[in-house]
Amino acid sequence: MSLDSGLESGVDSGLDPDSDLVGAGTTPTATATAPDEHTVLLPRISTDPLDDLVARVRPMLGQAVDSLHVAAALEADGLTDRGARVEYGYHDVFALSTEVYRRLGPRLPRQRDVATRGAGSWRESLRLISHGPLYVLPCTAFPAVLAIVGRRSLVLGLVFAGILGWVYAGVASHAAYRMLGFGRPRSAGRILIVATVTVPVVGAAAGAGLVWLTGGGVALVAMITCQVAYQLTSTVMVFYRRELWLALVMTPAFLIGVAYLILGAGLRPWSAAVAAGCVVAGFVFAVVIAVRRAGAVDTVEPPLRDSLRPEVPALWAVGAYGLCSAVLLLHAEAPYLMGRLDVAIAAAPLLLTMGFIEWRAERFRPQVVTLLRRVERPREFVRGVWRLLARETAVCLLAPAVPAAAMLAGLYYLDLLSAAGVVMTAAHVALGGAYLLAFQLAGRDRFGWLCWTMLAAILLHVVVGGLLGVAPLLGQSGSALVDTALYLGSVLLLQALFVLGLAPILGQAVRYR
Sorting pLDDT into bands at 50, 70 and 90, what band is 109? very low
The DSSP call for residue 506 is T
Q: Are 440 and 364 in contact (CB under 8 A)?
A: yes
**Cα separation, 94 vs 505, whole angstroms:** 14
Q: Are 136 and 162 in contact (CB under 8 A)?
A: no
- The fraction of the chain above a pLDDT of 70, given in percent, is 86
Question: What pLDDT is attached to residue 115?
Answer: 38
Sorting pLDDT into bands at 50, 70 and 90, what band is 166? very high
- How many other CB atoms are found less than 10 A from the CB of residue 206? 17
**Cα separation, 108 vs 448, whole angstroms:** 36
**First-last CA distance in the chain:** 9
pLDDT at 107 over 80: no
Candidate from 145-154, 217-226, 308-317 with smallest mean pLDDT: 145-154
The pLDDT mean for the chain works out to 83
pLDDT at 482 over 60: yes
Question: What pLDDT is attached to residue 510?
Answer: 72
* Mean pLDDT value of segment 284-303: 89
**Cα separation, 429 vs 49, whole angstroms:** 53
Question: What pLDDT is attached to residue 148?
Answer: 80
Can you give the pTM of this predicted structure?
0.74
**Cα separation, 51 vs 73, whole angstroms:** 17
Q: How deeply is 243 buried, as exposed, middle or buried, from its count of CB atoms within 10 A (0-12, 13-18, 19+)?
A: buried
Candidate from 67-76, 305-314, 466-475 with smallest mean pLDDT: 67-76
pLDDT digits (tens, 9 = 90+) for 203-231: 999 999 988 888 778 888 999 999 999 99
The DSSP call for residue 24 is T
Q: How deeply is 460 buried, as exposed, middle or buried, from its count of CB atoms within 10 A (0-12, 13-18, 19+)?
A: middle
Give φ, ψ of 438 to 5 degrees. Answer: -65, -40
Q: How deeply is 359 buried, as exposed, middle or buried, from its count of CB atoms within 10 A (0-12, 13-18, 19+)?
A: buried
pLDDT digits (tens, 9 = 90+) for 417-433: 999 999 999 999 999 99
- How many other CB atoms are found less than 10 A from the CB of residue 342? 22
**Cα separation, 343 vs 412, whole angstroms:** 13
**Cα separation, 424 vs 173, whole angstroms:** 30
Per-position DSSP letters for 345-381, written without gaps between them: TTTHHHHHTHHHHHHHHHHHHHHHHHHHHH--SHHHH
pLDDT at 499 over 70: yes
Q: How far is CA 98 from CA 72, 127, 149, 381, 412, in A?
A: 12, 32, 57, 20, 57
Q: How far is CA 339 from CA 344, 345, 416, 422, in A?
A: 8, 11, 11, 16
Q: How far is CA 397 from CA 332, 356, 358, 420, 437, in A?
A: 19, 11, 13, 20, 11
**Cα separation, 357 vs 350, whole angstroms:** 9
Q: Are 507 and 385 in contact (CB under 8 A)?
A: yes
Closest CA to 2 of 64, 82, 81, 95: 95
**Cα separation, 38 vs 33, whole angstroms:** 15
Q: Are 455 and 377 in contact (CB under 8 A)?
A: no
Distance of CA 274 to the CA centre of its chain: 31
* Mean pLDDT value of segment 127-131: 89
**Cα separation, 75 vs 56, whole angstroms:** 15
Closest CA to 103 of 70, 140, 130, 142: 70
Sorting pLDDT into bands at 50, 70 and 90, what band is 370? confident
Sorting pLDDT into bands at 50, 70 and 90, what band is 40? very low
The DSSP call for residue 47 is -
**Cα separation, 223 vs 207, whole angstroms:** 9
**Cα separation, 202 vs 136, whole angstroms:** 23
**Cα separation, 416 vs 425, whole angstroms:** 14
Q: How far is CA 192 from CA 113, 439, 482, in A?
A: 27, 22, 43
Closest CA to 4 of 79, 75, 98, 91: 98
Rama region for 300: left / alpha / beta (φ>0; ψ in -120 to 50; rest): beta
pLDDT digits (tens, 9 = 90+) for 43-99: 444 456 777 787 777 777 666 666 777 887 787 777 887 777 777 778 788 788 888
| Residue 172 identity | A
